[in-house]
Amino acid sequence: MTRADAFVTLPDGERIARLGQGTWEMGERPERRGAEIDALRAGVDLGMTVIDTAEMYGEGATETLLGDALAGLREKVFLVSKVYPHNASRRAVVASCEASLSRLKTDRLDLYLLHWRGAVPLEETVEGFESLRRQGKIRHWGVSNFDVDDMEALRAAGGLACATNQILYNVARRGSEFDLLPWMSAHAMPAMAYSPIDHMRLPKRSVLDEIARARQLSAVQIALAWVLARPGICAIPKAGSVEHVRANRQALEVALSEQELAAIDAAFKPPRRKTPLEML
Ligand code: NAP
């Protein structure tokens, strides 16, 4: 039986919650605002304290909602935001970070990520991140959507202090198991799995439903439990209701058996060759 530990460890030894929360598409519909805030706050109460957002989401509206949701809870949370690649130059990254801090109503981010690799030289972005760290505006920095060649380029650019790489990873998107996840593991770097339930695009009928039926759970919970059982992975599902947050938290308690894991492997095969990293 495999049951997930509640934490993963960053390269500097800091432990963060293995199960966190995403925020993409939150803060964009006024009629959903109350439910989204309730969901995020319930998640923090349940220990899902890693919360991921980005300046891109709702062009700032999501960070603004999250800033409101975290009133009185900020100190419990490991807060993650992301900078657009076109804002990742030495100077612009500082302005972007300050704008995110203002929307989030806080004085520091726990982790700041480059959303994907763009045209700005990585040396510049690393310098910008390091300067933000020296100023106490961010505690850690990292990247997102970086494949192995990008990670190697980052190291060559002086980015040895990268804390994590946030990537598309779920039962149906396993390409990174071939080379990227082993590379990260060799560098003691956990991965942050985004869209851990594939943005609700998992096949309608699969072995996940069979396992779910037998356990009186949902296929979403089984898909999430599968990600959470992988070593060195933190997952950030987005849930817009307290009901979904509770269901996701329950997935952390699910211990999939060897037979269930083998059945999942048979239906969602691990990669046999290099597959370029997919992104949403
Ligand atoms: P996801 O977490 O895989 O799926 C979110 C969808 O699942 C929503 O439609 C949500 O509906 C539904 N859902 C959540 N819990 C559920 C449950 N227990 N039962 C049934 N449905 C459930 O997809 P995602 O939002 O794409 O990814 C998660 C987070 O990763 C994002 O929010 C974002 O923070 C981050 N992300 C990062 C990148 C990047 O490039 N770095 C890209 C994509 C995402 P409700 O809203 O109705 O609950």
Q: Of ligand 1's atoms, which has the minimum distance to the CA of residue 243?
A: 18
Is any atom of ligand 1 closer than 6 Å to the C-beta of 165?
Answer: no
Pocket test for ligand 1, best of 200, 201, 246 (most atoms within 8 A of CB): 200
Angle at 39 between CA 174 and CA 143, to 5 degrees: 40
The finding on whether 199 has its CB within 6 A of some atom of ligand 1 is yes
Distances (CA, A) of 32 to 29, 151, 198, 249: 6, 38, 22, 21
Ligand 1 centre to CA of 45 (Å) is: 19
Nearest in space to 55 (alpha carbons), one of 90, 93, 108, 20: 93
Q: Is 9 in the pocket of ligand 1 (CB under 6 A)?
A: no
pTM, entire model: 0.98
Name which residue sits closest to atom 13 of ligand 1, judged by CA: 239
pLDDT tops 80 at residue 94? yes
196 CB near ligand 1 (under 6 Å): yes
Tokens representing residue 42 in the block: 């319930």
Q: Of all residues in the chain, what percent carry a pLDDT higher than 90?
A: 98
Q: Which residue has the higher pLDDT, 5 or 133?
A: 133
pLDDT by residue (tens digit) across 195-214? 999 999 999 999 999 999 99
| Residue-wise pLDDT tens digits, 113-141 | 999 999 999 999 999 999 999 999 999 99
Q: Mean pLDDT across the stretch 3-19?
A: 92
pLDDT exceeds cutoff 50 at 1: no
Indicate whether 164 pLDDT > 90: yes
Distance 215 CA to ligand 1 centre (A): 23
What is the average pLDDT across 83-98? 98
Q: How many CB atoms neighbour CB 112 within 10 A?
A: 27
- Find out whether 39 and 73 touch, Cβ atoms under 8 Å: no
- pLDDT tens digits, residue range 226-270? 999 999 999 999 999 999 999 999 999 999 999 999 999 999 999
Percentage of the residues of the chain whose pLDDT score is greater than 70: 99
Structural contact between residues 154 and 146, judged by C-beta atoms closer than 8 angstroms: yes
Q: Is residue 3 predicted with pLDDT exceeding 60? A: no
In single-letter form, the type of residue at position 273 comes to: R
d(CA 186, CA 242): 37
Residue 116 C-alpha to ligand 1 middle, in angstroms? 18
SS (H, E, C) 189-204: CCEEEECCCHHHCCCC
Q: What is the CATH number that goes with domain 7-267?
A: 3.20.20.100
Strand partners, 80: 52, 111
The reported pLDDT for the residue numbered 238 is 98
Tokens standing for 4? 């997930």
Ligand 1 and 200: CB distance under 6 A: yes
Sign of CA dihedral 205, 208, 210, 214: negative
Q: What is the pLDDT of residue 5?
A: 82
CA 130 to centroid of ligand 1, rounded, Å = 30
Predicted confidence at residue 4, as pLDDT, reads: 61
97: helix, strand or coil: helix
What is the 8-class DSSP label of residue 57? G
Q: Single out the residue of 11, 7, 8 nearest to residue 139, CA to CA.
A: 11
CA of 251 to the centre of ligand 1 (A): 15
